[in-house]
Amino acid sequence: MSTFTADQAARNKRSGPPPNTMPLMRRLAYSKVNLWLIFLIPFSVVWMFPFLWMISAAFKSQSEMFLGGIGLIPKEPTVENFARAWTTARFGEYTLNTITFSVTTVIIVVLVSATAGYALGRGRMPGKVILVGLLIATMFIPHGYTIIPVFQLVNALGLGNGLLGAVLATAGPAHVVQIMLFMGYFSGLPNELGEAATIDGAGYLRTFWSIYLPLSKPIMGTVALFQFIGAWNAFMVPLVFTLGRPDLRTLGVGMYGFYGQYTADWTGLAAGACISIIPIVIVFLFLQKSFVEGIAGAVKF
Protein backbone atom coordinates (compact mmCIF):
# COMPACT_ATOMS: atom_id res chain seq x y z
CA MET A 1 0.00 0.00 0.00
CA SER A 2 1.42 3.36 -1.07
CA THR A 3 1.40 6.29 1.29
CA PHE A 4 -0.20 9.63 0.26
CA THR A 5 2.41 12.23 1.12
CA ALA A 6 2.06 15.99 1.41
CA ASP A 7 4.16 16.47 -1.76
CA GLN A 8 1.76 14.31 -3.78
CA ALA A 9 -1.20 16.30 -2.43
CA ALA A 10 0.47 19.57 -3.42
CA ARG A 11 1.19 18.24 -6.90
CA ASN A 12 -2.43 17.15 -7.34
CA LYS A 13 -3.63 20.56 -6.20
CA ARG A 14 -1.41 22.35 -8.72
CA SER A 15 -2.48 20.06 -11.54
CA GLY A 16 -6.05 21.44 -11.40
CA PRO A 17 -9.34 19.57 -11.69
CA PRO A 18 -9.46 15.99 -12.95
CA PRO A 19 -9.42 15.60 -16.73
CA ASN A 20 -12.97 14.26 -16.88
CA THR A 21 -14.35 17.53 -15.45
CA MET A 22 -12.76 19.80 -18.11
CA PRO A 23 -15.42 19.22 -20.82
CA LEU A 24 -18.13 20.03 -18.27
CA MET A 25 -16.38 23.29 -17.34
CA ARG A 26 -16.06 24.25 -20.99
CA ARG A 27 -19.76 23.56 -21.56
CA LEU A 28 -20.70 25.71 -18.59
CA ALA A 29 -18.51 28.58 -19.81
CA TYR A 30 -19.96 28.24 -23.32
CA SER A 31 -23.49 28.25 -21.97
CA LYS A 32 -22.78 31.46 -20.02
CA VAL A 33 -21.53 33.13 -23.19
CA ASN A 34 -24.67 32.04 -25.06
CA LEU A 35 -26.89 33.39 -22.29
CA TRP A 36 -25.14 36.76 -22.48
CA LEU A 37 -25.58 36.81 -26.26
CA ILE A 38 -29.28 36.01 -25.95
CA PHE A 39 -29.60 38.76 -23.36
CA LEU A 40 -27.80 41.36 -25.53
CA ILE A 41 -29.52 40.61 -28.86
CA PRO A 42 -32.73 42.55 -28.02
CA PHE A 43 -30.67 45.57 -26.97
CA SER A 44 -28.74 45.39 -30.26
CA VAL A 45 -31.99 45.29 -32.23
CA VAL A 46 -33.36 48.30 -30.32
CA TRP A 47 -30.13 50.20 -30.93
CA MET A 48 -30.03 49.38 -34.65
CA PHE A 49 -33.72 49.91 -35.38
CA PRO A 50 -33.63 53.73 -35.91
CA PHE A 51 -30.74 53.35 -38.33
CA LEU A 52 -32.50 50.59 -40.26
CA TRP A 53 -35.76 52.56 -40.26
CA MET A 54 -33.94 55.56 -41.74
CA ILE A 55 -32.63 53.43 -44.60
CA SER A 56 -36.09 51.95 -45.12
CA ALA A 57 -37.78 55.37 -45.10
CA ALA A 58 -35.39 56.57 -47.81
CA PHE A 59 -37.01 54.07 -50.21
CA LYS A 60 -40.63 54.83 -49.24
CA SER A 61 -43.11 57.39 -50.44
CA GLN A 62 -44.40 60.06 -48.10
CA SER A 63 -47.78 58.37 -47.70
CA GLU A 64 -46.28 54.94 -47.02
CA MET A 65 -43.91 56.35 -44.43
CA PHE A 66 -46.72 58.02 -42.50
CA LEU A 67 -49.38 55.33 -42.95
CA GLY A 68 -47.30 52.17 -43.26
CA GLY A 69 -46.37 51.84 -39.58
CA ILE A 70 -42.88 50.91 -38.45
CA GLY A 71 -42.29 48.18 -40.99
CA LEU A 72 -38.82 48.07 -42.48
CA ILE A 73 -39.61 46.59 -45.91
CA PRO A 74 -41.06 49.13 -48.38
CA LYS A 75 -44.12 47.94 -50.27
CA GLU A 76 -43.26 50.01 -53.34
CA PRO A 77 -39.52 50.86 -53.23
CA THR A 78 -38.47 54.05 -54.99
CA VAL A 79 -35.21 55.90 -55.57
CA GLU A 80 -36.94 59.20 -56.28
CA ASN A 81 -36.03 60.44 -52.79
CA PHE A 82 -32.33 60.04 -53.52
CA ALA A 83 -32.66 61.85 -56.86
CA ARG A 84 -34.55 64.68 -55.18
CA ALA A 85 -31.96 64.95 -52.42
CA TRP A 86 -29.05 64.89 -54.88
CA THR A 87 -30.41 67.47 -57.35
CA THR A 88 -33.22 69.55 -55.85
CA ALA A 89 -31.64 69.76 -52.39
CA ARG A 90 -28.19 70.22 -54.03
CA PHE A 91 -26.59 67.40 -52.08
CA GLY A 92 -24.19 66.84 -54.95
CA GLU A 93 -22.65 70.29 -54.40
CA TYR A 94 -22.85 70.00 -50.63
CA THR A 95 -21.03 66.66 -50.69
CA LEU A 96 -18.08 68.18 -52.55
CA ASN A 97 -18.05 71.12 -50.12
CA THR A 98 -18.12 68.76 -47.15
CA ILE A 99 -15.29 66.63 -48.53
CA THR A 100 -13.14 69.74 -49.07
CA PHE A 101 -14.00 71.10 -45.63
CA SER A 102 -13.43 67.80 -43.80
CA VAL A 103 -10.20 66.74 -45.52
CA THR A 104 -8.59 70.17 -45.09
CA THR A 105 -9.59 70.28 -41.43
CA VAL A 106 -8.18 66.79 -40.84
CA ILE A 107 -4.81 67.66 -42.38
CA ILE A 108 -4.44 70.80 -40.26
CA VAL A 109 -5.58 69.17 -37.02
CA VAL A 110 -3.34 66.12 -37.46
CA LEU A 111 -0.23 68.23 -38.10
CA VAL A 112 -0.93 70.72 -35.30
CA SER A 113 -1.90 68.05 -32.78
CA ALA A 114 1.13 65.93 -33.62
CA THR A 115 3.46 68.92 -33.21
CA ALA A 116 1.88 69.94 -29.90
CA GLY A 117 1.85 66.35 -28.65
CA TYR A 118 5.52 65.95 -29.54
CA ALA A 119 6.46 69.14 -27.69
CA LEU A 120 4.52 68.09 -24.60
CA GLY A 121 5.51 64.44 -24.73
CA ARG A 122 9.22 64.76 -25.54
CA GLY A 123 10.03 68.32 -24.55
CA ARG A 124 11.45 69.39 -21.20
CA MET A 125 9.77 72.71 -20.74
CA PRO A 126 9.05 74.37 -17.38
CA GLY A 127 5.41 74.43 -16.33
CA LYS A 128 4.40 71.59 -18.63
CA VAL A 129 1.99 70.16 -16.05
CA ILE A 130 0.26 73.54 -15.72
CA LEU A 131 -0.01 73.84 -19.50
CA VAL A 132 -1.55 70.39 -19.80
CA GLY A 133 -3.98 71.26 -17.00
CA LEU A 134 -5.03 74.42 -18.82
CA LEU A 135 -5.58 72.45 -22.02
CA ILE A 136 -7.80 69.99 -20.21
CA ALA A 137 -9.71 72.84 -18.56
CA THR A 138 -10.65 74.21 -22.00
CA MET A 139 -12.64 71.04 -22.64
CA PHE A 140 -15.25 72.25 -20.17
CA ILE A 141 -15.93 75.52 -22.03
CA PRO A 142 -19.15 75.24 -24.08
CA HIS A 143 -18.53 75.55 -27.79
CA GLY A 144 -21.20 78.21 -28.17
CA TYR A 145 -19.26 80.59 -25.93
CA THR A 146 -16.28 80.66 -28.28
CA ILE A 147 -18.00 80.92 -31.65
CA ILE A 148 -18.35 84.75 -31.50
CA PRO A 149 -14.66 85.58 -30.79
CA VAL A 150 -13.57 82.94 -33.29
CA PHE A 151 -15.84 84.46 -35.93
CA GLN A 152 -14.53 87.97 -35.20
CA LEU A 153 -10.95 86.77 -35.48
CA VAL A 154 -11.50 84.94 -38.77
CA ASN A 155 -13.60 87.80 -40.13
CA ALA A 156 -10.76 90.23 -39.33
CA LEU A 157 -8.58 88.12 -41.64
CA GLY A 158 -11.09 88.64 -44.45
CA LEU A 159 -12.17 84.99 -44.47
CA GLY A 160 -15.52 85.29 -42.75
CA ASN A 161 -17.69 84.23 -45.68
CA GLY A 162 -16.31 81.02 -47.11
CA LEU A 163 -15.13 77.48 -46.51
CA LEU A 164 -11.56 78.54 -45.71
CA GLY A 165 -12.80 80.59 -42.79
CA ALA A 166 -14.91 77.64 -41.60
CA VAL A 167 -11.85 75.38 -41.84
CA LEU A 168 -9.72 77.75 -39.76
CA ALA A 169 -12.50 78.18 -37.20
CA THR A 170 -12.83 74.40 -36.86
CA ALA A 171 -9.15 73.48 -36.91
CA GLY A 172 -7.82 76.49 -35.03
CA PRO A 173 -9.02 75.86 -31.44
CA ALA A 174 -7.07 73.43 -29.28
CA HIS A 175 -8.13 69.83 -29.89
CA VAL A 176 -7.27 68.51 -26.46
CA VAL A 177 -8.12 64.83 -26.95
CA GLN A 178 -6.06 64.61 -30.12
CA ILE A 179 -3.10 66.34 -28.46
CA MET A 180 -3.32 64.01 -25.46
CA LEU A 181 -3.28 60.97 -27.73
CA PHE A 182 -0.10 62.12 -29.46
CA MET A 183 1.49 63.18 -26.18
CA GLY A 184 0.82 59.81 -24.57
CA TYR A 185 2.22 57.95 -27.55
CA PHE A 186 5.35 60.05 -27.96
CA SER A 187 6.16 60.03 -24.24
CA GLY A 188 6.22 56.24 -24.24
CA LEU A 189 8.66 55.80 -27.12
CA PRO A 190 12.24 54.87 -26.19
CA ASN A 191 14.68 57.73 -25.62
CA GLU A 192 17.25 55.86 -27.69
CA LEU A 193 15.43 56.83 -30.86
CA GLY A 194 15.95 60.54 -30.27
CA GLU A 195 19.50 60.01 -29.03
CA ALA A 196 20.44 58.05 -32.14
CA ALA A 197 18.96 60.78 -34.35
CA THR A 198 20.91 63.44 -32.44
CA ILE A 199 24.14 61.51 -32.92
CA ASP A 200 23.43 61.39 -36.65
CA GLY A 201 23.11 65.18 -36.68
CA ALA A 202 19.33 65.54 -36.71
CA GLY A 203 17.86 68.52 -34.90
CA TYR A 204 14.70 68.70 -32.80
CA LEU A 205 12.30 69.22 -35.69
CA ARG A 206 14.12 66.83 -38.01
CA THR A 207 13.89 64.12 -35.35
CA PHE A 208 10.16 64.74 -35.06
CA TRP A 209 9.55 64.73 -38.80
CA SER A 210 11.79 61.80 -39.74
CA ILE A 211 11.61 59.53 -36.68
CA TYR A 212 8.66 60.15 -34.39
CA LEU A 213 5.96 61.23 -36.84
CA PRO A 214 6.28 58.13 -39.08
CA LEU A 215 6.07 55.92 -35.97
CA SER A 216 2.81 57.56 -34.94
CA LYS A 217 0.77 56.36 -37.91
CA PRO A 218 -1.75 54.50 -35.69
CA ILE A 219 -2.37 57.68 -33.68
CA MET A 220 -2.59 59.69 -36.89
CA GLY A 221 -5.25 57.29 -38.16
CA THR A 222 -7.21 57.58 -34.91
CA VAL A 223 -7.04 61.38 -34.85
CA ALA A 224 -7.92 61.57 -38.55
CA LEU A 225 -10.99 59.40 -38.01
CA PHE A 226 -12.13 61.39 -34.97
CA GLN A 227 -11.67 64.71 -36.74
CA PHE A 228 -13.18 63.57 -40.03
CA ILE A 229 -16.37 62.44 -38.32
CA GLY A 230 -16.54 65.66 -36.32
CA ALA A 231 -15.95 67.88 -39.36
CA TRP A 232 -18.33 65.89 -41.55
CA ASN A 233 -21.16 66.27 -39.03
CA ALA A 234 -20.33 69.89 -38.12
CA PHE A 235 -23.24 72.29 -38.15
CA MET A 236 -22.67 75.45 -36.11
CA VAL A 237 -19.38 76.63 -37.65
CA PRO A 238 -20.27 75.91 -41.32
CA LEU A 239 -23.66 77.56 -40.77
CA VAL A 240 -22.12 80.76 -39.40
CA PHE A 241 -19.45 81.01 -42.10
CA THR A 242 -21.71 80.23 -45.08
CA LEU A 243 -24.76 82.37 -44.27
CA GLY A 244 -23.96 84.68 -47.17
CA ARG A 245 -22.88 81.86 -49.51
CA PRO A 246 -25.56 79.13 -49.69
CA ASP A 247 -23.62 77.44 -52.49
CA LEU A 248 -20.80 76.68 -50.01
CA ARG A 249 -22.95 74.90 -47.44
CA THR A 250 -21.96 71.51 -46.09
CA LEU A 251 -24.21 68.49 -45.70
CA GLY A 252 -24.88 69.21 -42.05
CA VAL A 253 -26.28 72.63 -42.96
CA GLY A 254 -27.92 71.42 -46.17
CA MET A 255 -30.09 68.98 -44.21
CA TYR A 256 -32.25 71.89 -43.17
CA GLY A 257 -33.24 72.43 -46.78
CA PHE A 258 -35.81 69.67 -46.32
CA TYR A 259 -37.67 71.70 -43.70
CA GLY A 260 -40.30 74.14 -44.82
CA GLN A 261 -42.27 76.67 -42.83
CA TYR A 262 -45.13 74.30 -42.07
CA THR A 263 -43.98 70.89 -43.26
CA ALA A 264 -40.92 68.78 -43.94
CA ASP A 265 -39.81 66.35 -46.64
CA TRP A 266 -39.13 63.40 -44.33
CA THR A 267 -38.38 60.81 -47.00
CA GLY A 268 -36.02 63.21 -48.75
CA LEU A 269 -34.41 63.91 -45.40
CA ALA A 270 -33.93 60.17 -44.83
CA ALA A 271 -32.37 59.81 -48.28
CA GLY A 272 -30.07 62.76 -47.60
CA ALA A 273 -29.03 61.22 -44.28
CA CYS A 274 -28.20 57.96 -46.06
CA ILE A 275 -26.08 59.84 -48.58
CA SER A 276 -24.25 61.72 -45.83
CA ILE A 277 -23.27 58.64 -43.80
CA ILE A 278 -21.80 56.66 -46.70
CA PRO A 279 -18.40 58.47 -46.68
CA ILE A 280 -18.16 58.12 -42.89
CA VAL A 281 -18.68 54.36 -43.11
CA ILE A 282 -16.09 54.08 -45.89
CA VAL A 283 -13.51 56.11 -43.95
CA PHE A 284 -14.14 54.11 -40.78
CA LEU A 285 -13.69 50.79 -42.58
CA PHE A 286 -10.49 52.10 -44.17
CA LEU A 287 -9.05 53.38 -40.87
CA GLN A 288 -10.51 50.75 -38.54
CA LYS A 289 -7.21 48.96 -37.95
CA SER A 290 -5.32 52.19 -37.31
CA PHE A 291 -8.09 53.35 -34.99
CA VAL A 292 -7.85 50.24 -32.78
CA GLU A 293 -4.04 50.29 -32.79
CA GLY A 294 -3.97 54.00 -32.01
CA ILE A 295 -6.32 53.72 -29.03
CA ALA A 296 -4.39 50.69 -27.70
CA GLY A 297 -1.04 52.42 -28.21
CA ALA A 298 -2.14 55.62 -26.51
CA VAL A 299 -3.52 53.71 -23.51
CA LYS A 300 -0.45 51.50 -23.36
CA PHE A 301 1.96 54.40 -23.20
| pLDDT digits (tens), the chain, 301 positions | 444 455 554 455 455 555 544 465 565 555 665 777 777 788 888 888 888 888 898 898 888 888 877 778 888 888 888 988 888 888 888 999 999 999 999 999 999 999 988 888 887 777 788 888 888 888 888 777 788 888 888 888 888 888 888 999 888 877 888 888 888 888 888 888 877 888 888 887 888 888 888 888 888 888 898 899 989 988 888 888 888 888 888 988 888 878 777 778 888 888 888 988 888 888 888 877 776 666 665 544 4
Q: How far apart are CA 104 and CA 111, in angstroms?
A: 11
Q: From 3.40.50.620, 1.10.3720.10, 3.40.50.10740, 3.60.70.12, which CATH number describes the 82-300 domain?
A: 1.10.3720.10
Residue ranges per domain, the chain? 6-44, 82-300
